[in-house]
C-alpha cells in the first residue's frame, strides 16, 4: 500500500475505499458516519484541537515520569488513603460511642471524662498543634512580601 502526500493530491472516498478494505464493511461505514456526526461540531469549532493538545500534554507527562516520581506519587497516595481511612474509622467509632449513651453527658461530666482519658488529651494536643501551625502559616501569609 502506498501513501500519497496529502498536500500534493487528494483522495476521493472511492479511492480511500479501494486503499482500505476495512472501510468497505457497512458496519464500519455506519460507525464512521455516526462518529463524524458527533465530531462535526468539534471540528467546525476547532475544539478538537484542545482535546488533541490535552492528549499530547498527558503523553508528555507520562514520558517525563520516572521511577522516583512514580514512587513519590505512590507514597502520597498511600498516605492520603491511610489518613482518610484512619479519620473515617475514628469518626465511626466515636459516633458509635456517642450513640450508645441514652442521654448525652453534661458539659462538666464530659470535661471530667476528658481530663481522665490520656488518649483524649493527646488528641486535643494534636488539634492544638494543628491550629497553632495554621495560625503560624496565616501570619506568614499575611506579611508583606519583601521587594526584590
- pTM of the predicted structure, to 2 decimals: 0.45
**How far is residue 128 CA from its own chain's centroid?**
30
Return the DSSP state at 23.
G
The burial class, CB within 10 Å (0-12 / 13-18 / 19+), for 48 is: middle
pLDDT in tens, the chain (148 residues): 445 555 545 777 778 777 887 877 889 889 988 999 999 998 899 898 999 999 999 999 888 888 888 899 999 999 999 999 999 999 999 899 888 988 888 999 989 988 999 999 999 999 999 999 999 988 888 777 777 5
Return the DSSP state at 7.
T
Question: What Cα–Cα distance (Å) separates residue 93 from each residue in 67, 81, 88, 89, 127?
Answer: 38, 18, 9, 6, 18
Domain residue ranges of the chain, discontinuous segments joined by +? 13-64, 67-99, 107-142
What's the pLDDT score for residue 55?
94
What's the pLDDT score for residue 9?
58
What's the pLDDT score for residue 59?
93
What's the pLDDT score for residue 3?
52
What's the pLDDT score for residue 1?
45
Amino acid at each position: 500500500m502506498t501513501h500519497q502526500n496529502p498536500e500534493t493530491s487528494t483522495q476521493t472516498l472511492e479511492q480511500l475505499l479501494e486503499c482500505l478494505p476495512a472501510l468497505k464493511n457497512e458496519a464500519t461505514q455506519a460507525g464512521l458516519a455516526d462518529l463524524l456526526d458527533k465530531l462535526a461540531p468539534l471540528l467546525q469549532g476547532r475544539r478538537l484541537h484542545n482535546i488533541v493538545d490535552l492528549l499530547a500534554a498527558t503523553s508528555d507527562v507520562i514520558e517525563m515520569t520516572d521511577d522516583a516520581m512514580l514512587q513519590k506519587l505512590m507514597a502520597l497516595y498511600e498516605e492520603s488513603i491511610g489518613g482518610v481511612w484512619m479519620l473515617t474509622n475514628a469518626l465511626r467509632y466515636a459516633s458509635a460511642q456517642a450513640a450508645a449513651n441514652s442521654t448525652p453527658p453534661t458539659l462538666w461530666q464530659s470535661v471530667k471524662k476528658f481530663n481522665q482519658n490520656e488518649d483524649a488529651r493527646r488528641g486535643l494536643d494534636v488539634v492544638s498543634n494543628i491550629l497553632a501551625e495554621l495560625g503560624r502559616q496565616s501570619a506568614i501569609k499575611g506579611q508583606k512580601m519583601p521587594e526584590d
